[in-house]
Structure 1
């Protein structure tokens, strides 16, 4: 039977899958860059189901809000290796800058905690009762992200030899391996499939916008290098398993 606090019930789940992290590495919106810098995420998610009262294992009195919204909380770990891809690192380019770009490597890691409000166009009590096999959903929310990047070069130490190892755009304080905390906005769309009375599978597509350009540890001057004007972003596709407490 369901257990929980009065007036609502709880669900827990595991979720994970590939992540495409868009940063100052490579060309923006270049497919080779997106494909080459794929990482992964894995996490734990928690739902407050407002339609179901766990004390009596029965539905709460109907309101549009409790029958179409759930509150989603999550703790997510994400990481991705980063390299430069695109025309500027093609073999035909033999300049010092091209060699420096090819020799640059990075790694981005984040630990994130946040909440979302998840909307279901299909009544939740119909899905929970088994009248629907699957339901779509969409959500919006925010996360606090602790990030810790690492950038290095095959040509030498980037901190003591920046002119030898880094293109000009990454010199003079435009690269920093220090950690930090940044907020992000997240938007999800997905689908849930009921597999038993007390468990669901989910497929979840997420777009995440960080309110900073330092998540990858680099921030070329956006007024000079207009190709690097955007903050860091990520897109992830995850598969999850949800069970009802």
Structure 2
């Protein structure tokens, strides 16, 4: 992980509360989220059923919210402004892990190339730290007061990402060359230990977006269900990035689709 970048992000997180408090009064919420994810990468084929089913991972996250509709310092509502009543600022730290396999018709071929694909396994461990702005079409105050049980929302944000991929093959035995082990077109690339294959750790950024709903459990707690999309600004998160001139399916950067369920608690400060 790039230490300087991480320190800068942490300093920003520490500075935001005092900066926000000088402009807005707010209260705090904390929570935990977890759920399965689909890793969309160069393992398998995009929009392929077998790829989506088999390349599943699991993630967990810690979340914090600035709630601008309620003032913790006086246990009262803030000034009735549209922003205060419809937006929350969310910070988040996520960790997710996915095992990756090649799926689709190319890997199902009864040929040496098909066997190379079937034997090639991968994985990716990803840590993310970032913020996003959530928009609630319905009144946050009314929801918090119990006027209705369900509050939908959408969000948009950005994350700093640190990743560590791994790769392996059952054909990797003493004396075997990479050309003997892996799909030949994966060995043509720039920056990987084996051309387009790498297990090097790295950092990047992600654009995040989500749609979700909150369900009012008690006065001070909610359950939320959320579908998240993270678009990484790197094609190395999965450890596979062959030259698209020789491997045309490599058109896109890596991304995940993540379904989470979470528990949110309202703090009295």
- Residues 127-206 of structure 1: matches in 2 within 5 Å? 127-156=143-172, 161-172=177-188, 173-206=195-228
Q: Give the distance between the partners of 2:37 and 2:146, measured in 1 at CA.
A: 32
Structure 1 residue matching 2:63: 3-state secondary structure: strand
- The answer to whether structure 1 residue 82 and structure 2 residue 104 are counterparts is no
Give, in angstroms, the shift of residue 109 of structure 1. Answer: 0.9
Q: Give the distance between the partners of 2:229 and 2:216, measured in 1 at CA.
A: 25
- Given that 1:158 and 1:166 are in contact with CA atoms closer than 8 Å, whether structure 2 keeps it comes out as no
Give, in angstroms, the shift of residue 89 of structure 1. Answer: 2.0
- Does the C-alpha gap of structure 1 residues 105 and 64 become closer, same or farther in structure 2, counting only changes over 3 Å? same
- Given that 1:24 and 1:216 are in contact with CA atoms closer than 8 Å, whether structure 2 keeps it comes out as yes
Residues 135-177 of structure 1, C-alpha deviations (whole Å, 9 max, x = no match): 0000000001100000111100699721111111211411110
- Does the C-alpha gap of structure 1 residues 60 and 157 become closer, same or farther in structure 2, counting only changes over 3 Å? farther
Q: Give the distance between the partners of 1:31 and 1:136, measured in 2 at CA.
A: 29
- The answer to whether structure 1 residue 70 and structure 2 residue 88 are counterparts is yes
- Residues 1-245 of structure 1: matches in 2 within 5 Å? 7-90=25-108, 93-156=109-172, 161-172=177-188, 173-245=195-267
Number of aligned positions between the proteins: 240
Q: Give the distance between the partners of 2:64 and 2:158, measured in 1 at CA.
A: 15
What root-mean-square deviation, in Å, do the aligned CA atoms of Structure 1 and Structure 2 show? 1.7
Q: Give the distance between the partners of 2:244 and 2:54, measured in 1 at CA.
A: 24
Instruction: Give TM-score, length-normalised by structure 1.
Output: 0.94
Residues 191-213 of structure 1, C-alpha deviations (whole Å, 9 max, x = no match): 00001000000000001100111
Q: Give the distance between the partners of 2:66 and 2:241, measured in 1 at CA.
A: 38
Q: Give the distance between the partners of 2:210 and 2:175, measured in 1 at CA.
A: 39
Instruction: Give TM-score, length-normalised by structure 2.
Output: 0.86
Q: What are the ranges of 5 or more consecutive residues in structure 2 without an aligned counterpart? A: 1-16, 189-194
Structure 1 residue matching 2:265: 3-state secondary structure: strand
Give, in angstroms, the shift of residue 224 of structure 1. Answer: 2.7
- Does the C-alpha gap of structure 1 residues 178 and 160 become closer, same or farther in structure 2, counting only changes over 3 Å? farther
Deviation beyond 4 Å, 4+ runs, structure 1: 157-160
